[in-house]
Chains A and B, each alone.
Chain A
Amino acid sequence: MDYHLKTPVPEDEIRKLKMGDLVYVTGTVITARDEAHLKALELHEKGEKLPVDFKDVGVFHCGPIMKKVDGEWTVIAAGPTTSARMEIFQDNFIETFRPALIIGKGGMGDRTSKACQEYGCAYGAFTGGAALLAARGIKKVREVHWLEELGMPECLWVYDVEDFGPMIITIDTHGNNMTQDVKEQVTARMEKIMAEMEG
């Protein structure tokens, strides 16, 4: 199925998504990689207010190339980065900030999958490296935060997006995880190939 979602996305719409569905998003998507996740969680723990609200919007694992043209930030290229690096704190992040979608590449593991199930979040895999396809869906750079401190790839870019996609739902709220499934199949095949290998 194809879905066109609008942020803020209500939780029941996220719960309708199934592994393998194609999704396009219109509304707000915020970039966050390793350091932004860490900083956001740290600030929250200290009880400080974040400059953005991740609730019901898309969190995009992405370190874009941005350029200032006539004093305005514009997106040059903005594809997904490897999400696996965020696995160590994504579950905590989902529980704390309750985003609707995590967008990235390469899929995520069990911890994220459990958090998605529990808190009504889904993971959308954007084609890795397809940075211009992603940029095409970004209509406006609304805000930027932590740029000085974290640098261009790591800071928070708040984008207004329109039909941003297509993303494939690889983690849904029903406990499915496509990347994990493929991984298990690949490991089984590897073991067979290794065992049959000749010198």
Chain B
Amino acid sequence: MTEISKIVEDTAVELLRIAVTELPTEYVKVLEEAMEETEGAVGKAQLTNILENVVIARENSKPMCQDTGIVAFMVKLGDGFPLRSEVREILIKATRRATEEVPLRPNAVDMFKGNTRDNVGLNGHVPIIYFDLVEGDDLELIALPKGGGSTNIAAHRMLKPGLGMKGVKQFVIEALSNAGSLGCPPYFVGVGIGGGEDLCMKLAKEALLKPFRVRSEYQKVAAIEAELLEKVNELGIGAMGLGEGPTALDLHVKMAARHPASLPVGVVISCWALRHARAVISSDGEVEIDKSV
């Protein structure tokens, strides 16, 4: 194994460890504020428990939630980075190692043979790896392990284009109302609009990781984000669905062009434990990890 492969593998293991054990400090701050502001004892208790749990996780380097999810990586591979297709094998190996070392819960289930026990499985599809080819010499890696509870409340619909943006917004509200208590609110919400039946879901998932509480660079999209975030909170689902405290901490929208006859919309929701960690590895093996967001 070359030295750079080893660096990528070690970094990927470390990113999974950070993702599941350290909630980004910006989220913690907002959860603390929410806890202060929540008046009802039931909601306050939920947020207090979450925060206390987050501290134990960080101090003991243990997974904050037992559902460490299906492992996903988002990879941006620079033209000048010394590795190419071997990155896939490296990330698979890192997933196996993290399962042992962190540890992660074995969550990859083969429908015929049962749990694969190492979070890897079936025809190279899990861990989920999104590759993007980019300019430059660096490799950017994001680890995004996502739990089952909040994954199950994702929503997808091919709307009639005539319903327009109003229809899109109504669908998002409906999706969150249906999500209710099931995915451990307060939520983070990603909305993908356009592109096709698959791309809208991918955009929605990527939208989760847009800079926290920074509105879209497109004014019209920014306005939709702000409106939807407010309305989602008006639903009053509250922390853990008990009707008190915030329903959603943030919401982002990503858009692509659509076919004239289609209006695909995807809604991807994360629980309060939006676990992710990002690193940039330079071509000579320097690693930079950002833990704030």
* Same complex: yes
Number of interface residues of B (CB under 8 A): 55
Q: Range of interface residues on chain A?
A: 35 or more
Question: Does the CB pair A190–B184 fall under 8 Å?
Answer: no
Given A127-B49, A168-B42, A179-B181, A189 and B65 contact (CB-CB distance below 8 Å): no
Q: Point out the residue from A63, A67, A151 that lies within 8 Å of B114, measured CB to CB.
A: A151
Q: Point out the residue from A79, A81, A130, A189 that lies within 8 Å of B234, measured CB to CB.
A: A189
Q: Point out the residue from A129, A178, A194 that lies within 8 Å of B174, measured CB to CB.
A: A194
Question: Does the CB pair A190–B103 fall under 8 Å?
Answer: no
Does B115 sit within 8 A of A, measured CB to CB?
A: yes
Question: Does the CB pair B105–A106 fall under 8 Å?
Answer: no
Task: Convert A52-82 into 0s and 1s, putting 1 for each residue whose CB lies closer than 8 angstroms to a CB of B.
Answer: 0000000000111101000000001111011
Does A8 sit within 8 A of B, measured CB to CB?
A: no
**Number of residue pairs spanning A and B whose beta carbons lie under 8 angstroms apart:** 164
Does B292 sit within 8 A of A, measured CB to CB?
A: no
Chain B CB within 10 Å, residue with most, of A64, A132, A135, A189: A132
Chain A CB within 10 Å, residue with most, of B50, B169, B181: B181
Nearest chain B residue, comparing its CB with the CB of A189: B235
Does B149 sit within 8 A of A, measured CB to CB?
A: yes
Question: Does the CB pair A182–B62 fall under 8 Å?
Answer: no
Task: Convert A153-190 into 0s and 1s, putting 1 for each residue whose CB lies closer than 8 angstroms to a CB of B.
Answer: 10000000000001010100000001101110111011
Residues in A whose Cβ lies below 8 Å from that of B104: 65
State the Cβ distance, B274 to closest chain A Cβ, in Å: 11
Q: Is the interface of A mostly helix, strand, loop or mixed?
A: mixed
What residues of chain B have their CB less than 8 Å away from a CB belonging to chain A? Answer: 42, 45-46, 49-50, 52-53, 56-57, 60, 62-68, 103-107, 114-115, 117, 147-149, 152, 164-166, 169-170, 173-174, 177, 180-184, 231, 234-238, 240-243, 271-273
Q: What are 26 of the A-B contact pairs (CB < 8 Å)?
A: A77-B64, A79-B66, A79-B67, A81-B148, A105-B181, A106-B183, A107-B241, A127-B240, A128-B184, A129-B65, A129-B271, A130-B50, A130-B53, A132-B56, A132-B60, A132-B64, A152-B106, A166-B49, A168-B45, A179-B241, A182-B241, A186-B180, A190-B173, A190-B174, A193-B235, A199-B165
Query: Which 9 residue pairs spanning A and B have beta carbons closest together?
Result: A128-B184, A127-B49, A77-B66, A199-B166, A190-B177, A130-B53, A182-B243, A129-B65, A132-B56
